[in-house]
A = this chain, B = another copy of it.
Amino acid sequence: MNWGELVIALRQKVREVRPLIHHITNLVVTNLTANVTLAVGASPVMAYAREEVADMARLARAVVLNMGTLTADEVEAMLLAGRAASAAGIPVIFDPVGAGATPFRTATAQRIIRELHIDILRGNASEIAAVSGFGGQTRGVDAGEISVPAGQMARQVARDLGTVVVVTGATDYISDGERLIAVANGHALLTTVTGTGCSATSVIAAFRAVEADGVTAGAAALAYYGLAAEHAAATSRGPASFQVALLDALYKLEGEDLARGVKIREL
């Protein structure tokens, strides 16, 4: 497979289809992830009320559930939206932000995974370890330390949960339990801006909305996102100008720049 051409094709398809991505997400990244979703060419909608989340989820092409600032009410809304989406064949992408940091967070993440059909699970290594019982330790909502290589964990958790698992970090790993893909795009400045992991989840959802294979969608989305970060870093003077340049790059990146830059490897 020529990954460069595939990333270009999927990026183009997102712009043509303009899929609606329903987010139930956290208070820190609501604005940023809406703008990231727009920048890649999809259409974001953020809706949280129990009275409407099922209706909104059914209008969407993908549903993002992100528990960064979860409350009991929001968890109920996530379950309603997730069930409605699955019943309608709409993929659910779950971002278990901060799983492992507190018992409530870990238990909630595990409950969501148990009660919903998750199509793609995206987290950093410590979050994925926490939800899957791999041990490890989460420090706040940042990546902590885990003892199992991330790629091996991605494959094992994908197999155990029967879902596509994406473990992001300096290198990202995507697996469905059989295939395992590594994406080496990205830049250290991503760790200096809040919500860049949540934004990656939104980009994955946009690509998944137009590509039925979750592993392909996840790898292509992360290569695209990481390459945009590389371009952005070249012109920025710190974290905030980097964030501005990242969104601009997500909006503009295409063609040869994209084809040459993607670093995707099947392991």
Interface residues of A (CB under 8 A from B): 20, 22, 26-32, 34-35, 38-39, 43-49, 51-52, 55-56, 59-60, 68-73, 98, 101-105, 139-142, 192-195, 236-241, 243-252
| Inter-chain pairs besides A35-B239, A59-B101, 7 sampled, C-beta below 8 Å | A26-B46, A30-B69, A38-B192, A45-B140, A46-B69, A192-B251, A236-B248
| 16 A–B contacts, CB within 8 A, in A order | A29-B31, A30-B31, A39-B192, A43-B142, A44-B194, A46-B68, A55-B104, A60-B140, A236-B248, A238-B247, A238-B248, A238-B252, A239-B247, A240-B243, A240-B247, A240-B248
A13 to chain B, nearest CB (A): 18
Chain B residues contacting A139 (CB-CB under 8 Å) are 20, 43, 59
A31 and B194 form a contact (CB under 8 A): yes
**What are the residues of chain B within 8 A of A243 when measuring CB–CB?**
35, 240
Smallest CB gap from A31: residue in B: B28
In the complex the two chains form, what is the Cα distance from A246 to B35 in whole Å?
15
* Chain B residues within 8 Å of A51, by CB: 72, 104
Is the Cβ of B44 less than 8 Å from the Cβ of A140? yes
A24: min CB distance to chain B, Å: 10
**Are B240 and A34 in contact, CB atoms less than 8 angstroms apart?**
no
Q: How far does the Cβ of A37 sit from chain B's closest Cβ, in whole Å?
A: 8
What is the bound-complex CA distance between A103 and B248, given in angstroms?
Answer: 35
Q: Cβ of A56: which chain B residues have Cβ within 8 Å of it? A: 101-102, 140
- Within the assembled complex, what's the spacing in Å between the Cα atoms of A195 and B250? 18
Q: Give Cα distance in the complex from A244 to B239, angstroms.
A: 8
Min CB distance, A208 to chain B, in Å? 17
A192 to B59, CA, bound (A): 21
Contacts of A20 in B (CB 8 A): 139-140
Q: Are A48 and B29 in contact (CB under 8 A)?
A: no
Give which listed residue, B35, B239, B249, B251, contacts A251 with CB less than 8 A.
B239
CB <8 Å contact, A194 and B55: no
7 closest A-B pairs (Cβ-Cβ)? Answer: A238-B248, A240-B247, A45-B140, A52-B104, A34-B194, A55-B102, A52-B102
Residue of B nearest to A22 (CB): B140
A39 vs B248: C-alpha distance in the bound complex, in angstroms? 21
Residues of B within 8 A of A29 (CB): 31
